């Protein structure tokens, strides 16, 4: 029975390593655990030493036919994420446990099409920012969230976890802990500062979270009050609601505002390295996807300066 669980046992040790040595977030550890369980489910491999080229082929084939609980096919990007996690697990076994497993670098990823970036045109962005009713407490909260998204390019998870103490109105900065626990500074625009202050002025509580749900109950709660923090799903649905109200047809999400922030910087002359830092991207190649949105300018340069005769 013990032999049948060797892969599971190795996976558990790897998860402990991620937490203890690499300080990975609970969400990252959960994602890795689910991915490694999926590998075991799709390949029925009981021992890391049994992973070979055929097992990898079986896994990659099974990923193509795998369906989620809602019977949806997973994207190429998600499939590649599963392969990346498997490679990281094997690399851990090689380097940390000195187990002679299948070489992780021999696991190739699926070829991905060029990623499409969804951004908002200026008119759509203005309509979205005007959509909340600023005469209400909820409306003040929501306009503050929308303006903060566009001012900083924060990820949804980064914005949700912000506390009041993270904001420095004097220096117009926010210290943000992003992916891999990396801390970076993002900066507040005038409109974002005004919107956040307007929301803070109508708050009657002393709770830590910057954005709350159920303000009435929060008024009498004691700090820290994390149970009243506006959730990921709540923020996501809020953006969708106002996009519908504003008549925006391309179905934007919070990440669309992050994309819009980055492309706005690029179109106005910011360099890619600076945008990379502001977005908290680990690799410049991730940031370079935004050049495809602004590339129409290259056509104008070509037509103006290239001799086509």
CA distances in angstroms from 90 to 30, 126, 149, 155, 261, listed in the order given:
18, 48, 37, 30, 37
Which pair of structure tokens corresponds to residue 78?
């998600």
CA separation for the pair 114, 202 (Å, rounded): 45
CA separation for the pair 254, 233 (Å, rounded): 11
- Which residue is catalytic, options 14, 32, 59, 290? 290
- Which residue is catalytic, options 82, 258, 273, 292? 258
Query: How many angstroms from the chain centroid is the CA of residue 27?
Result: 11
- Which residue is catalytic, options 13, 19, 60, 179? 179
- Which residue is catalytic, options 64, 155, 203, 306? 155
Is 59 a residue of the active site? no
The candidate with the shortest Cα–Cα distance to 140, out of 201, 209, 199, 188, is 199
| DSSP character string of 11-41 | HHHHHHHHHHTS---HHHHHHHHHHHHHHHH
Is 115 a residue of the active site? no
Is 255 a residue of the active site? yes
CA distances in angstroms from 13 to 61, 104, 184, 232, listed in the order given:
27, 18, 31, 30
CA separation for the pair 285, 50 (Å, rounded): 34
Is 290 a residue of the active site? yes
Residue 147: strand pairing partners = none
- Which residue is catalytic, options 24, 79, 140, 281? 281
Instruction: Provide the annotated active-site residues.
Output: 155, 179, 255, 258, 281, 290
């Amino acid at each position: 029975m013990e032999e049948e669980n060797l892969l599971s046992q190795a996976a558990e040790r790897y998860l402990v390593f991620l937490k203890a040595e690499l300080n990975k977030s609970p969400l990252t550890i959960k994602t890795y655990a689910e991915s490694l369980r999926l590998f075991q489910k799709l390949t029925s491999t009981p021992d890391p030493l049994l992973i070979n080229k055929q097992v990898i082929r079986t896994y990659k084939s099974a990923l193509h036919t795998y369906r989620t609980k809602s019977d949806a096919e997973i994207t190429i990007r998600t499939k590649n994420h599963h392969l990346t996690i498997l490679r990281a697990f094997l690399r851990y076994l090689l380097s940390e446990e000195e187990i002679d497993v299948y070489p992780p670098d021999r696991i190739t990823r699926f070829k991905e099409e060029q990623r499409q970036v969804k951004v908002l045109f200026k008119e759509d962005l203005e309509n979205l920012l005007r959509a909340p009713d600023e005469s209400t407490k909820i409306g003040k909260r929501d306009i503050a969230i929308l303006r903060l998204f566009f001012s900083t390019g924060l990820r949804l998870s980064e914005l949700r976890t912000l506390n009041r103490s993270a904001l420095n109105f004097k220096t117009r900065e926010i210290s943000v802990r992003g992916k891999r626990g990396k801390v970076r500074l993002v900066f507040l625009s005038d409109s974002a500062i005004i919107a956040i202050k307007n929301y803070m002025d109508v708050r009657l509580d002393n709770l830590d979270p910057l954005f709350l749900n159920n303000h009435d109950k929060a008024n009498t709660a004691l700090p820290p009050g994390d149970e009243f923090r506006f959730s990921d799903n709540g923020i996501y649905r809020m953006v969708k609601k106002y996009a519908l109200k504003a008549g925006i047809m391309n179905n934007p999400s919070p990440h669309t505002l992050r994309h819009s922030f980055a492309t706005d910087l690029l179109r106005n002359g910011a360099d890619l390295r600076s945008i990379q830092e502001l977005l908290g991207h680990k690799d410049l190649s991730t940031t370079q996807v935004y050049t495809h949105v602004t590339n129409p300018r290259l056509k104008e340069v070509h037509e103006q300066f290239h001799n086509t005769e």
